[in-house]
Amino acid sequence: ILNVEQSPQSLHVQEGDSTNFTCSFPSSNFYALHWYRWETAKSPEALFVMTLNGDEKKKGRISATLNTKEGYSYLYIKGSQPEDSATYLCAFNTNAGKSTFGDGTTLTVKP
């Protein structure tokens, strides 16, 4: 079983704070890394697909970076808003098309 770790497990911030979390994964057999956002009572939705070392992706106030050589990815949220409250999952893909998920980081943004 592949080991994908996310930290921290949970995070509480004030509205307007910027925050970041980490996903660590095996540095061998890398094919892709996916970030998902999972809001309460909804299904997980993909945020980013990252494939190349040094990749940087951005969607509004959320961005992500990738380092495949050392096996980590960072997700950044600038100026957190209450609607950003969710669990953020990363998933490591091998070329077999199978995703192995981390345990997630649960973000709570207080107004």
Cβ neighbours, 10 Å, residue 22: 15
Binding residue (CB under 8 A) for other proteins from 42, 60, 83, 111: 42
Using CB under 8 A as the binding rule, whether residue 63 contacts other proteins is answered as no
CB of 109 to other proteins, least distance (A): 21
Residue 90 burial (10 A CB sphere; 0-12, 13-18, 19+): buried
Task: Spell out, one character per residue from 1 to 40, where the chain touches other proteins: x when CB under 8 A holds, - when not.
Answer: x--x-x--x---------------------xx-x-x----
CA distance 79 to 42: 23
**Three-state DSSP state, 84:** helix
Contacts with other proteins by CB under 8 A lie at 1, 4, 6, 9, 31-32, 34, 36, 42-46, 49, 51, 89, 91, 93, 95-104
